Chain A
Amino acid sequence: MKTIIYTCPYVPAEWIAAHGLRPSRIIPDAAGSTGPVVPIEGVCPYVRGFVNEVITGTQASAVVVTTVCDQMRRAFDIVVRKGKLAAFLMNVPSTWQSVAAQKLYLDELKRLGRFLIGLGGESPSTDALVKIMLEYDTARTSILAARGYLTSRRYSEAIARFNRDGKSGITRDITDKKPLTDGIPLLIIGGPLLREDFEILDVVENSGGRIVLDATETGERGMCAKFDRRRLRDDPLMELANAYFGGIQDAFRRPNSELYNWLKREIAARGARGIVFHRYVWCDIWHAELRRLKDCIDLPVLDIDTAGDNETYKHRTENRIRVFLEMLQ
């Protein structure tokens, strides 16, 4: 089965799977100094890691890139020029309050469908799409139900594994039925994590904290809303679009007030006492939210900026997390 890789949460895995292809939302490694995109000032480490993985990797048949950030939009040019994979750039509107923006997203899904058929995919029947959406919804539900029973890292990795393979694998992970309650409850928020960044979750736990909400793009925040079963049977593609475009809150949206509304609700529900704000150097979209977050949310915020592949950054991050948690003790 052909594999279609992507990294943006607004690309619905169900839509790719319904075309008879294998969706895989990848998490790149921090790229070193080798690869087509070398470390240069201004380039976001995540974008660099993604481009280098897409260009040098050989496992996939195609890649889907979206327009949610300008660097990723421009990285598409490099993927097309230097890579061998078939590539698709999907317009994900920044605005979301108008019917026109919602329709644009839906039209882009249909265009993605034509691209997938061009790769050898099958035009999905309504029944096939409904079946796959239900499978994914069930898997997502089982992952969400495991929250609180797994360590922070294992939970976030379970989400990442689901995004990569479409399987929850969660039953194997729950070995202890008692919910975990030790540690100071924190949330982590930001863009996507690189593979190496998952270590941060261990550092938090080893320093006396516990992540009660992974609001990074690779975590819970990057999961679509639960499907409405009635609407799903009436018009599954529309429901898919609603759950993704309407259900995932992100800093890039204009306005992005819904991100803060979501965050306030989740903080209240989960009792977080502090925020780890994770951002990459040169990621303007998230960087600009840092001060606003501090102004809007009445919790201590730790700013973790990282260049992705630097040992110095790593040690600094560890120390900063430890001090942050000492402060919260």
Chain B
Amino acid sequence: MSNTPKQITLQEWDQRYEQLQRAGMHQPDYGGPLGRHVEDGDYRLLKLRYDNSAAALRLWNFLLTEEQRLYQARTRGKKIVGTMKDLGTVPVMAYSLDNLVAFYPDGAWWIPCVMELSAGLLSIADSLGIDESFCPVRAMLGAFVTGAHFPIPDLLTCSVGATCDDFSAIAQRLNSLGYPILWWEIPHRRSPEHNEPAVKLPGGFSAPKCQVEFVKSQLELVKTALEELAGESLDEKKLSAGIQKANQVRAYLAELRQLAFTAKVCPLPALEMLVAEMLAIHFCSDRDETVIVLKELVGEVRSRVKAGKGVLAADAARIFWVNPVADLQVMNLLEDCGGRICGTEYLFSHALDTIPEDLPPTEALARIALADPMVGSSVDRAERICTDIRRFGSEAVLLSRIPGASHCALEGEVITEVVQANVDIPVLEIEVPPVTDSIRPTLRTRLEALVETVIERRKR
């Protein structure tokens, strides 16, 4: 059996699965051939290409069984918390309590892609007055109404303030349909004024101390609600332990990103890297298993890098990707066009930063929440992107617009200007709807042009 790293189709995966099984591959209880998920309606899987490692198989199976995991948790008596518009803060708190499971209802934005619009979630959103002028996250409304994609949470939290209008409006619509929501405020992060006490945040931004205190007060409200739901106190010791666990996940992701983005030959495809990064947000509803999944993935990548093996050509154009894509297939498309991912800012870089362990835990989480690149100015975000471009040696930036998203309308221009002024590399903006089949030729042309530009610039 060949273990040469490569990307394979879903059909090829089923053959590969048999081979790995015969070779004695250990499978977790959610394991199995990837092809079975198509029976659940995940038709897009038929059109994707996957890494052929056992570690990647485990990653995909972990991702695609989240719904069952949530129902199982409820059956076992655990309470479920839906943490909306929250990229990696409240879940750390929720998982610090034994009988809570947190998940990210906004993740439903990928259902129209994965199920190739067959679930009808966008039509339901339309019928509720949330049409295609909103971000595809509107699919979440349909998921709540049908109750078919995740259990209705026992507690719903949502951060508002310095967030995108789409989500805030959709969450309000959800609230008006009878779903109670605990709103907590995240203010726009501003620069400290002259002589104003300031705090350095994880990731490099700074903020006035009073803003950290304010966010801390908001997280205290959330903490009280979690305690009431769990029937258990969330003391500093438990929260600190939860932070340590979250940092374990973040440490694996940091190593994975460093290895994958800087290796001479790309050791892990863009799609698997995207899925792995997403685990940081809410641990795919199982924090302990997330650690194991990432440990295996890091092990695989380490061995590939050591052996100088990878899945793409050594001269692939090194692209920094900004914003997540609504259609996962576009990550494959970039690689088809001769690119590889060397740096990402999928809206949640702060969920990859280490949470300070030498601070009172609620303050540490408040700092992480304020370090969110989306709660500050687009200039801040662009500067963080530039820092990572230098670190990972990216040769171009791909700004992937999310259709209808309020932040995408104006941020692209700012990010482009800052990147070009600071690191002088090409920037391309594209828009990626949930299913890109009809615009695939156009997207391909644009991505090919970017790759060609990068290759040409190497001759300078």
Contacts and interface: CB of A to CB of B under 8 A. Distances in A.
Interface string B213-224: 010011001000
Nearest to B220: A100
Contacts of B455: none
Contact of A40 (B187, B221, B409): B409
Contacts of B129: 287-288, 290-292, 294
A191 B256 CA distance: 46
A60 interface: no
B411 interface: yes
A317 interface: no
Contact of A95 (B183, B404, B405): B183
A74 B411 contact: yes
Given A81-B414, A89-B188, A76 B377 contact: yes
B95 to A, nearest CB: 25
A320 interface: no
A77 to B, nearest CB: 5
Contacts of B134: 284, 287-288
B166 A93 contact: no
Given A101-B185, A107-B210, A74 B128 contact: no
A255 B179 CA distance: 12
B193 to A, nearest CB: 7
B160 A91 contact: no
Nearest to B431: A41
B161 A94 contact: yes
A203 interface: no
Contacts of B158: 254
B410 A67 contact: no
Contacts of A117: none
B190 A81 contact: no
A73 B193 CA distance: 19
A254 B168 contact: yes
A100 B219 CA distance: 12
Nearest to B411: A74
B408 interface: yes
20 contacts: A40-B409, A41-B409, A47-B410, A74-B407, A74-B410, A74-B411, A77-B379, A77-B414, A81-B414, A89-B190, A91-B187, A100-B214, A100-B218, A104-B187, A252-B168, A254-B160, A284-B133, A284-B134, A284-B169, A296-B176
Interface of A: 37, 40-44, 47, 67, 69-71, 73-78, 81, 89, 91, 93-95, 98, 100-101, 104, 107, 111, 114, 252, 254-256, 281-285, 287-292, 294-296
Interface of B: 128-130, 133-134, 158, 160-166, 168-173, 175-176, 181, 183-185, 187-188, 190, 193, 210, 214, 217-218, 221, 377-379, 401, 404-411, 413-414, 417
